[in-house]
């Protein structure tokens, strides 16, 4: 926003009035020159000088506002052209010769000429001043309105952030025999990733993780809707394939965005059932789990999901990523990539996220790790950096 031309951001009417004010204010220089020449300039020369003085002033003003620090590259050639052009006009339309004495008719003409110059100066200065005042008042009102709208938007964003925070899984939730750790790091103040960890009533739990297209407030509203649907669907079934099917059916025709998702049910005995809807496959002890391909949620041709089942043995670790990990991008344009993501998948969630962020966060990042404990007396669930934008 700051790098764009201010003249393009401002209302066109204000820009036109401002430039006209500049024209009239500096056009008075031609009238002042005519007074100094004691009215001896030809009328055509006075008219041309008045127009050119205003036009060059407008050019300097517009160029200075648009080019800012680079204005010097415009000023030097433009000023040189102005000097040459005004010199040519002075040569083409020379002033009348001064006479030692003026007769009555010449004195009357001179008096009328100077009166005209004086009145014209008052008019042009007044028009310029009125234009500047008009633009100042108009832009002040627009600035006040913009600040009020900004404050309202910030309040809405703060409310949306609080809603997202409340939608995160409860920190106090525990699952016997498992250590569940997750970190959610949005790229902006509001993110487009979503995840829910819901108990199944039998010491197991259902995990639903996904990503909606876009960022900011629109993505956050989409996430809010999805989380509500997930919690509603979870009351009906814990089968991951059915969960995704029901999510898909709720979204078809109701949203234009694309949402990828993955649902996994982990039983108290270590049986893991996973279904996927266009999301990244998780890692099991550093190995990517092969899942059947399927279209993202909400696409009319999709909706057909199948599940994969396996056992998470004691000491085993499941790691789930959003695409913000693999799509982290360095300053040189290099992607974090799947190889790096796989290599660090055995680390704790916070360490994984920090490495992706330090590499160059470009999108929302969510990491969930599930470790089955050998000692079932140590149930724990931790929340780390639940909602915190990446540092600039």
Of 117, 135, 160, the last residue of a domain is: 160
Residue 385 contacts residue 184 (beta carbons within 8 Å): yes
Question: Distance between CA atoms of 31 and 39, rounded to whole angstroms?
Answer: 9
Residue 389 lies in a domain: no
* Burial (0-12, 13-18, 19+ Cβ within 10 Å), 43: exposed
Residue 1 lies in a domain: no
33 and 149 in a common domain: yes
Report the 3 state secondary structure along the chain: CCCCCHHHHCCHHHHHHHHHHHHHHHHHHHHHHHHHCCCCCCHHHHHHHHHHHHHHHHHHHHHHHHHHHHHHHHHHHHHHHHHHHHHHHHHHCCCCCCCCCCCHHHHHHHHHHHHHHHHHHHHHHHHHHHHHHHHHHHHHHHHHHHHHHHHHHHHHHHHHHHHHHHHCCCCCCCCCCEEEEEEEECCCCCCCEEEEEEECCCCCEEEEEEEECCCHHHHHHHHHHHHHHHHHHHCCCCCHHHHHHHHHHHHCCCCCCCEEEEEEEECCCCEEEEEEEECCCCEECCEECCCCCCCCECCCCCCCCCEEEEECCCCCEEEEECHHHHCCECCCCCECHHHHHHHCCCCCHHHHHHHHHHHHCCCCEEEEEEEECCCCCCCEEEEECCCCCCCC
200 and 122 in a common domain: no
* CATH code at position 243: 3.60.40.10
Residue 311 lies in a domain: yes
221 and 311 in a common domain: yes
Return the number of other C-beta atoms located less than 10 Å from residue 220's C-beta.
25
Of 160, 187, 205, the last residue of a domain is: 160
pLDDT tens digit sequence for 333-357:
999 999 999 999 999 999 999 999 9
Question: Distance between CA atoms of 349 and 345, rounded to whole angstroms?
Answer: 9
Residue 219 lies in a domain: yes
Stretches where the chain sits below pLDDT 50 are 1-2, 172, 378-392
320 and 175 in a common domain: yes
Residue 27 lies in a domain: yes
Question: Distance between CA atoms of 185 and 176, rounded to whole angstroms?
Answer: 27
Q: What per-residue confidence (pLDDT) applies to 235?
A: 86
Q: What per-residue confidence (pLDDT) applies to 305?
A: 92
Question: Distance between CA atoms of 48 and 85, rounded to whole angstroms?
Answer: 11
146 and 239 in a common domain: no
Check the CA dihedral 59-60-64-67 and report its sign: positive
Residue 390 lies in a domain: no
Question: Whole domain around residue 69: which residue ranges?
Answer: 6-160
Structure-token match 């890692």, residue found: 283
Q: What per-residue confidence (pLDDT) applies to 136?
A: 92
349 and 215 in a common domain: yes
Q: What per-residue confidence (pLDDT) applies to 311?
A: 94
Report the domain count for the chain. Answer: 2
210 and 117 in a common domain: no
221 and 365 in a common domain: yes
Question: Distance between CA atoms of 190 and 193, rounded to whole angstroms?
Answer: 9
Q: What per-residue confidence (pLDDT) applies to 9?
A: 81
151 and 74 in a common domain: yes
Of 94, 129, 160, the last residue of a domain is: 160
How do 178-185 and 380-384 pair as beta strands?
parallel
177 and 155 in a common domain: no
Cα radius of gyration rounded to whole Å, the chain: 36
379 and 248 in a common domain: yes
Question: Distance between CA atoms of 298 and 257, rounded to whole angstroms?
Answer: 8
188 and 149 in a common domain: no
């Amino acid at each position: 926003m700051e790098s764009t031309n201010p003249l393009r951001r401002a209302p066109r009417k204000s820009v036109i009035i401002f430039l006209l004010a500049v024209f009239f204010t500096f056009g008075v220089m031609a009238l002042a020159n005519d007074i100094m020449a004691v009215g001896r300039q030809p009328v055509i020369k006075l008219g041309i000088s008045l127009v050119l003085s205003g036009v060059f002033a407008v050019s300097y003003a517009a160029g200075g506002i648009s080019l800012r620090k680079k204005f010097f590259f415009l000023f030097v050639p433009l000023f040189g052209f102005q000097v040459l052009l005004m010199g040519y006009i002075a040569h083409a339309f020379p002033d009348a010769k001064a006479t030692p004495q003026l007769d009555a008719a010449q004195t009357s003409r001179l008096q009328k000429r100077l009166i005209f110059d004086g009145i014209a100066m008052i008019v042009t200065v007044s028009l310029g001043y009125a234009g500047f005042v008009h633009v100042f008042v108009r832009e002040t009102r627009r600035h006040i309105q913009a600040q009020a709208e900004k404050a309202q938007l910030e309040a809405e964003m703060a409310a949306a952030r609080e809603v997202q925070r409340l939608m995160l899984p409860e920190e106090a939730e525990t699952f016997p025999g498992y250590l569940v750790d997750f970190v959610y790091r949005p790229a902006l103040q509001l993110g487009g990733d979503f995840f829910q960890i819901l108990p199944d009533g039998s010491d197991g739990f259902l995990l639903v993780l996904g990503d909606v297209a876009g960022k900011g407030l629109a993505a956050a509203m989409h996430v809010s809707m999805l989380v509500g649907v997930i919690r509603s669907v979870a009351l009906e079934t814990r089968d991951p394939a059915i969960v995704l099917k029901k999510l898909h059916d709720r979204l078809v025709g109701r949203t234009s965005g694309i949402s990828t998702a993955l649902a996994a049910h982990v039983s108290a005995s270590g049986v893991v059932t996973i279904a996927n809807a266009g999301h990244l496959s998780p890692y099991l002890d550093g190995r990517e789990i092969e899942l059947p391909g399927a279209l993202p949620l909400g696409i009319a041709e999709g909706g057909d999901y199948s599940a994969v089942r396996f056992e998470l043995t004691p000491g085993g670790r499941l790691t789930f990523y959003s695409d913000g990990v693999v799509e982290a991008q360095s300053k040189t344009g290099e992607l974090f990539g799947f190889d790096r993501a796989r290599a660090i998948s055995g680390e704790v969630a916070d360490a994984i996220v920090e490495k992706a962020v330090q590499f160059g966060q470009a999108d929302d990042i969510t990491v969930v790790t599930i470790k089955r404990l050998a000692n079932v007396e140590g149930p724990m669930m931790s929340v780390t950096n639940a909602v915190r934008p990446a540092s600039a």
